Structure 1
Amino acid sequence: MSNDTPDTAAAGRRWTDGNRVALLENGEQFFPRVFEAIGEARREVIVETFILFEDKVGEQLHAALSAAARRGVKVDLMIDGFGSPSLSPGFIAGLIAAGVKVRVFDPGKRIFGQRLNVFRRMHRKIVVVDGTLAFVGGINYSADHLLDFGPKAKQDYAVELAGPIVSEIHRFVLQAIAVGGKGAGWFRRRIRAAAQDDNAPAGEAAAQFVTRDNRRHTNDIERHYLAAIRSARQRIVIANAYFFPGYRLIKELRRAARRGVDVRLILQGEPDMPIVKVAASMLYHHLLHAGVRIYEYCERPLHGKVALVDERWSTVGSSNLDPLSLSLNLEANVILRDRGFNQTLWERLDALMQNSCRQIEASDLDEWSGWRLVRSFVIFHVLRWYPSWVGWLPRHAPKLKPLDTALHQGGGATRTDAA
């Protein structure tokens, strides 16, 4: 069986009321809360992450998971084979010795020193503790999510959730780690138990847990974005690290701006990969001329994947708005309807625009030329059709490998920037 997705009918299908949600900005807020929650776990901890590096943050996660496992908590850790390719044998062995079940999504062997498992990554970042508390967002377990990392420290966001939505997330991650793994009967019992365990209301927010995979939910996250943009009447703010969306999303942003909606994009001004800024800037003429306002975040690399529409709708998650996230990767976002959370996110993003961004004006762009017109025409049609042709990229059946030996032979972590 392919491990593209757990077949979870609940994921992204309906609004769930009665949830408590808190915004966590950067590693300074995210890591302490996650490690505290793991430290208080009594029954179960499940962690999915794209990147786990063997640095001070990775060591803290290692210590927290190991301590939980030693006191009898069921601990499951899933990492991506491309995003976390070079953890040392000692690091993995220490987790396993403590009782942590470690699985790697799509482990790939290097050929001539190159990793070939580039496409269809497990890009989600999820934590579920005791089936009652969840964390979802874009923050990986690496020191470059902390300000003391320096100029390359990343700006990013996650949410902490309690309430009925956590039950849906819990069932999803249980099915995710069960697919392709050993002990299927044991996991089925855990999944059946979770199916009967609905959390009591904990707050006022309505929420949906929305995933993207390569089987049944190929465009769910994009559809939620499109529906929210079409319904916008006052404002749209999208902060996204890797922005090169499809034709439909660009078209709806332009339409919204032309009908008077205050449409703002916060994009990378100091990108971790130069091609990111080049790709996004190719769209600037189309967006600015329709009235979309563009802000480049220039303090350090932007890694966030968040958005808000009007006064209630918000989303936080792992999905970028680029071909990898929208057409290839396994992603997870939380969609929220809550005025208080929306206002908090707006205040954080507004502060970013006011204090740390450069607004791009039409006068900043190069004049139109014959070459620019040709390039614009090509880009337009690439955007329009890439959801169709991207399906031709490698479509192997990714594997989920339980580890009882070292993940890789060799030394320290290798950085993966597009995360």
Structure 2
Amino acid sequence: MPVELFSTPLIATILGVLHIVGIFAAVHAVMTVRTSQGAIAWALSLVMMPWLTLLPYAVLGSAYFTGYTNPQRFRNEVARLQARGIDPVWAQRHPEYIAEYPEDSGLQALTRLTDTPLLRGNHVRLLINGEVTYEALLAAIRQARQAILVQFFAIADDAAGRALHDALAERARAGVTVQFLYDGIGCHALPEAYIATLAEAGAQVRKFATRRLANRFQINFRNHRKLLVVDGEVGFVGGHNIGTMYLGERAPLSPWRDTHIELRGPVLGTLQLVFAEDWFWATRQLPHMLAPATRDGTMLCQALPSGPADARETGSLFFVTAINAARSRVWLASPYFVPDEAVMSALELAVMRGVDVRVLIPTRPDHHVVFHASTLFAHDAVQAGVRMFRYEPGFMHQKVVLIDDRAAAIGSANLDNRSFRLNFELMVMTLDAGFAAEVETMLVADFACAREVGLDEYRNTPYWRRALMHIAHLFAPIL
């Protein structure tokens, strides 16, 4: 007789197998999940409800990105380039450009944290919003003569995305080396034709994605960096992805508020090396790197990459270091505010030291679960004395840190666990009073367009929405 599909013995067997698999998965969670809270949550749910949590754990559970860059193989490739007169670790050969943070800055730990140098002789230009940023990006690409290294988390096949495509394709056809890296999840909707026509023009196009079959649909370990380096002459880092949405042309999030920076000088050597590690993961080859052009820049800069392949909690520790370094002021802007315990404690301690602590977040949500969790965290922060502000004209997507009157960091990292531990991110710290003053002017204008969050925002919220906030809060380790 045929076996009944839903017979009691068959169901019992399936459940038994799931529980056995769940136990093994729980052991894996205890051994690999970085935070004790996350490990306990995963282990209990995998043992008690494996039928519900095994699939989410397969997609979200691991907190480590293994096999990112084989250090010895990477060093061998670097040595081969050096033998040919090309030096991708340029800064190590030019110690005259390497600087140290002043003793009173409180930022000395950043050099050991990221293993990247603080470099003198740079120039940084602030790019506010999409129109200015895209104009600068495209102008640099069109002037390229040797090599373009470019990577973005998200690219849309719209007018903005096609403008980037056409500019890169034109340079590739002209003989310029174009190496284009895109994230497999962030660009999931990008048509194959977009990639194929770039490749046909001569560009080298690769997707950043894990290669293990189990992680085929892995939404963690995304490459969230936005980086462009042209000819070793000029580079760009910041919050903008590529699409008309980032120009403020898509309701209901328009107008879109974002910040990018244009960089020139020795720091481009480090930026190329950051790209090289990502490119090496995707291709097992090094990209076309050039010695950075050195001119008369006067600014101290440090590129600060972070990601789940780091031995330390680099992303979280960067924010802790920056907040702890503040003596009079620390202003932060982030579209998402889901800090871990270390960052929240650093914010609270800064308030206790008498530091002016302000955080700018959006009024409008683009991800509702994150927004609800962020609202609860904002309430907790306000109770601790942190001044929280909601930007009102449109969606606020910039990632900015301003420390006192001389240090500012801009890049791709958000104030959430995904940026702290699960994504590859890139910030650039600039130590320059003039640039810090420009960032201050920008943020003052942003705060003028924001309303300060009071304790009443949470208290006046209907009970059912407060319940949703607390439920969303439970997912903070993966938001």
Bin the TM-score by the shorter chain.
0.7 to 0.9
Partner of 1:414: none
SS of the equivalent of 1:20 reads strand
User: Could you tell me how far 1:231 is from its partner in structure 2?
Assistant: 2.1
Partner of 2:196: 93
Corresponding residue to 2:421 among 301, 322, 327: 327
User: Could you tell me how far 1:147 is from its partner in structure 2?
Assistant: 2.9
Out of 316-325 and 74-83, give the one that drifted further. 316-325
Residue 357 in 1 paired to residue 450 in 2?
A: yes
Question: Aligned in 2, Cα 1:380/1:4: closer, same or farther, shift over 3 Å?
Answer: farther
Residue 46 in 1 paired to residue 111 in 2?
A: no
Out of 202-211 and 16-25, give the one that drifted further. 202-211
Corresponding letter in the other structure for 2:238: G
Partner of 2:61: none
Question: Aligned in 2, Cα 1:103/1:256: closer, same or farther, shift over 3 Å?
Answer: same
Correspondences of 1:17-416 after superposition (within 5 Å): 17-106=120-209, 116-153=217-254, 154-181=256-283, 184=285, 187=286, 190=288, 194=290, 197-216=291-310, 218-354=312-448, 356-366=449-459, 386=477
User: Could you tell me how far 1:96 is from its partner in structure 2?
Assistant: 1.0
User: In 1, Cα distance between the equivalents of 2:471 and 2:217?
Assistant: 28
SS of the equivalent of 2:223 reads coil
User: In 2, Cα distance between the equivalents of 1:213 and 1:110?
Assistant: 21
Corresponding letter in the other structure for 1:139: H
- The structure richer in helix per residue is 2
Question: Aligned in 2, Cα 1:259/1:374: closer, same or farther, shift over 3 Å?
Answer: farther
- Structure number with greater CO (CA < 8 Å, separation at least 6) is 1
User: Could you tell me how far 1:20 is from its partner in structure 2?
Assistant: 0.2
Out of 135-144 and 216-225, give the one that drifted further. 216-225
User: Could you tell me how far 1:81 is from its partner in structure 2?
Assistant: 0.5
CA contact (8 A) 2:208 2:278 kept: no
Question: Aligned in 2, Cα 1:49/1:380: closer, same or farther, shift over 3 Å?
Answer: closer
CA contact (8 A) 1:81 1:107 kept: no
Corresponding letter in the other structure for 1:122: N
CA contact (8 A) 1:138 1:303 kept: yes
CA contact (8 A) 1:81 1:108 kept: no
Question: Once the two structures are superposed, what CA deviation does each residue of 1:202-223 show, in whole Å capped at 9, x if it has no partner?
Answer: 4221111111122235422332
Question: Aligned in 2, Cα 1:255/1:46: closer, same or farther, shift over 3 Å?
Answer: same
Question: Once the two structures are superposed, what CA deviation does each residue of 1:255-301 show, in whole Å capped at 9, x if it has no partner?
Answer: 11122111111012111122222111112333212221110112211
SS of the equivalent of 1:72 reads coil
In structure 2, runs of 5+ residues without a counterpart are 1-65, 76-88, 92-113
User: Could you tell me how far 1:165 is from its partner in structure 2?
Assistant: 0.3
CA contact (8 A) 1:3 1:180 kept: no
Question: Once the two structures are superposed, what CA deviation does each residue of 1:306-326 show, in whole Å capped at 9, x if it has no partner?
Answer: 110100111111111111111
User: Could you tell me how far 1:47 is from its partner in structure 2?
Assistant: 0.6
SS of the equivalent of 2:359 reads strand
Q: Aligned-pair RMSD on alpha carbons?
A: 3.3
CA contact (8 A) 1:228 1:313 kept: no
Out of 325-334 and 216-225, give the one that drifted further. 216-225
User: Could you tell me how far 1:180 is from its partner in structure 2?
Assistant: 4.2
Question: Aligned in 2, Cα 1:218/1:125: closer, same or farther, shift over 3 Å?
Answer: farther
CA contact (8 A) 1:132 1:167 kept: no
CA contact (8 A) 1:167 1:199 kept: no
SS of the equivalent of 1:282 reads helix
Question: Once the two structures are superposed, what CA deviation does each residue of 1:29-77 show, in whole Å capped at 9, x if it has no partner?
Answer: 1101000000000000011110111000010001100011011100011
Count of residues in Structure 1 that have an aligned counterpart in Structure 2? 374
Question: Once the two structures are superposed, what CA deviation does each residue of 1:336-379 show, in whole Å capped at 9, x if it has no partner?
Answer: 1111111111111111111x2111122333189x9999999999
User: In 1, Cα distance between the equivalents of 2:451 and 2:212?
Assistant: 42
User: In 2, Cα distance between the equivalents of 1:180 and 1:295?
Assistant: 40
Question: Once the two structures are superposed, what CA deviation does each residue of 1:222-247 show, in whole Å capped at 9, x if it has no partner?
Answer: 32321221121211111001110110
Partner of 2:40: none
User: In 2, Cα distance between the equivalents of 1:87 and 1:109?
Assistant: 22
Corresponding letter in the other structure for 1:130: D
Corresponding letter in the other structure for 1:64: A
CA contact (8 A) 2:258 2:397 kept: yes
CA contact (8 A) 2:406 2:433 kept: yes
Question: Aligned in 2, Cα 1:378/1:63: closer, same or farther, shift over 3 Å?
Answer: closer
Partner of 1:13: 116
Computing the radius of gyration from Cα coordinates, the structure with the larger value is 2
Corresponding letter in the other structure for 1:357: A
Question: Aligned in 2, Cα 1:69/1:265: closer, same or farther, shift over 3 Å?
Answer: same
SS of the equivalent of 1:215 reads coil
Percent of aligned positions that are identical: 30
Q: Normalising to structure 2: TM-score of the pair?
A: 0.71
CA contact (8 A) 2:316 2:421 kept: no
User: Could you tell me how far 1:12 is from its partner in structure 2?
Assistant: 4.8
User: In 2, Cα distance between the equivalents of 1:60 and 1:105?
Assistant: 22
CA contact (8 A) 2:358 2:386 kept: yes
Question: Aligned in 2, Cα 1:109/1:147: closer, same or farther, shift over 3 Å?
Answer: farther
User: In 2, Cα distance between the equivalents of 1:106 and 1:212?
Assistant: 17
SS of the equivalent of 1:35 reads helix
